[in-house]
Structure 1
Amino acid sequence: MAGNIDAAHPPPALLKVVNPTLRFALRTPLGAVLKQFMVVSFTGRKTGRRYSVPVSAHHLDGELYAILEAGWKHNFGDGAPADVLHNGRTTHMHGQLINDPEAVADIVHRVATSYGAKKAQQMMGLKFRDNNVPSKDEFVAAARQGLAAIRLTPAT
C-alpha cells in the first residue's frame, strides 16, 4: 500500500468460507458477543444489487467506522443508506465515505493507536512492516493509495 503499511487480506478462498459464516453468526445471539464485527448492508450504486459485507467495527469519539480499501467503499461516495448489524441488532444508518487523506489518516491513526500495533493490524486488515503503529504521515500516504473510512451514523 504505502511505506510502512501493507494490506493484509485473507486469501479469497478463506473469505468465501469466513464471510458467510460471520454474516450468519452475527445474526444469532452470538452477534452480541462478536462486538468487533458488523455487517454493512447496502444497495450498489451501479448494479442496484443488495450487498451485505462483514467488516471490523471501529469506534472513535462515539461514532462507528469501517476502515477499508475495498472497492465497495465508492458506494458511499455521496453518502448512502445502510443497514448495520452490530452488537446483535440492526440499525438503519447513513454511511459517508471519507477519502480526504488527512481526515482518513487522523481517523485511522487514532484508532490504530487506541488498539496498539498488534490488535490494529488484526482489526484493520493491515500489516505494519516494523510492527509499530505507523505515523500519521504514513497513514496519509496509505490514504492517497486507497485507504479510506466510512462513517456510519444513525439515519434521521
Structure 2
Amino acid sequence: MTDQPIDAAHPPDAMLAVVNPTLRFLLKTPLGGLIGDFMLVSFTGRKSGKRYSTPVSAHHLDGNLYVVLEAQWKYNFRDGADAEVSYRGKTRTMRGELITDRSAVAAICERIATSYGPKKAQRQMGMTFRDDRLPTTPEWEDAVDRMKIAAIKLTPKG
C-alpha cells in the first residue's frame, strides 16, 4: 500500500501490450457499445503531426465526457484540439480542452471518485487510495501537484 493518500496504479506493461490493441479495435466497432467504461480518443500530435489512438476510462460529469490523466499526451489538448472519440459503439468528432488548474482538476477528480465510490474509483481512475477511502479535497489538490494530474473535457463539436 502507498504512503500517499492517492497514488498511481498502472497495469503492467505486458498487460497493456495485449489489452490496448484489443480495446483500440473493439471500441471502434458496434461491440464498443458493450464496453461502457472505456473510450478511444484519437488525435493528432501538436508537434509531431503523428496520429494517436489511446484507450482511456470514460468519466461523465454534467453531461460531458472527461479523461483524467497524468500522461504527457495531455498537452496535445492545450488550447483545445479536435479528437475522434469512439464511445459506446459510436465515433464522433469532439473538442478536447485541457484543464490544468489545480483546484478545478481536484474538484473534477473528487466528483468523479465520489460518483463511483472508493473501490470503483480506484479501478476506473487508475489510482490507489490509502485506506480504500475517498480522498479529501486537500488530498486531491496535493495529488494534482505531485502527480501532474490533469483533465481533458470532451464536448461535441459543432
Q: Which of the five TM-score ranges fits, normalised by the shorter chain? A: over 0.9
Q: CA deviation at 1:104?
A: 0.3
* Conservation of the 8 A alpha-carbon contact between 1:100 and 1:143: no
What pairs up with 1:57-76 in 2 under 5 angstroms?
Answer: 57-76=58-77
Please give the alpha-carbon distance, in whole angstroms, between the structure 1 residues aligned to 2:100 and 2:42: 20
CA 1:96–1:2 in structure 2 vs 1: closer, same or farther (change >3 Å)? farther
Which letter does structure 1 place at the counterpart of 2:9?
A
Aligned to 1:154: 156
For the pair 1:130 / 2:141, whether they are aligned, the reply is no
Q: CA deviation at 1:39?
A: 0.2
1:93 alignment partner, SS class: strand
2:123 alignment partner, SS class: helix
Which letter does structure 1 place at the counterpart of 2:8?
A
User: What is the TM-score of this pair, normalised by structure 2?
Assistant: 0.95
Aligned to 2:29: 28
Which letter does structure 2 place at the counterpart of 1:148?
A
Worse overlay, 80-89 or 27-36: 27-36
Aligned to 2:143: 142
Q: CA deviation at 1:2?
A: 8.8
Q: CA deviation at 1:13?
A: 1.8
Count residues with an aligned counterpart.
156
User: What is the TM-score of this pair, normalised by structure 1?
Assistant: 0.96
* Conservation of the 8 A alpha-carbon contact between 1:40 and 1:52: yes
What pairs up with 1:12-51 in 2 under 5 angstroms?
Answer: 12-51=13-52
Aligned to 1:111: 112
1:130 alignment partner, SS class: helix
Q: CA deviation at 1:66?
A: 0.4
Q: CA deviation at 1:144?
A: 1.2
Structure 1 stretches lacking a partner, 5+ long: none
Q: CA deviation at 1:3?
A: 3.1
Which letter does structure 2 place at the counterpart of 1:86?
Y
Please give the alpha-carbon distance, in whole angstroms, between the structure 2 residues aligned to 1:8 and 1:87: 25
Which letter does structure 2 place at the counterpart of 1:150?
I
Aligned to 2:53: 52
RMSD after superposition: 1.3
1:75-125 Cα offsets, whole Å, 9 max, x none, are 011110100000100010000110101000111100100100000000000
2:131 alignment partner, SS class: coil
Aligned to 2:95: 94
Structure 2 stretches lacking a partner, 5+ long: none
Q: CA deviation at 1:134?
A: 0.3
Which letter does structure 2 place at the counterpart of 1:155?
K
Q: CA deviation at 1:29?
A: 2.3
Aligned-pair identity in percent equals 60
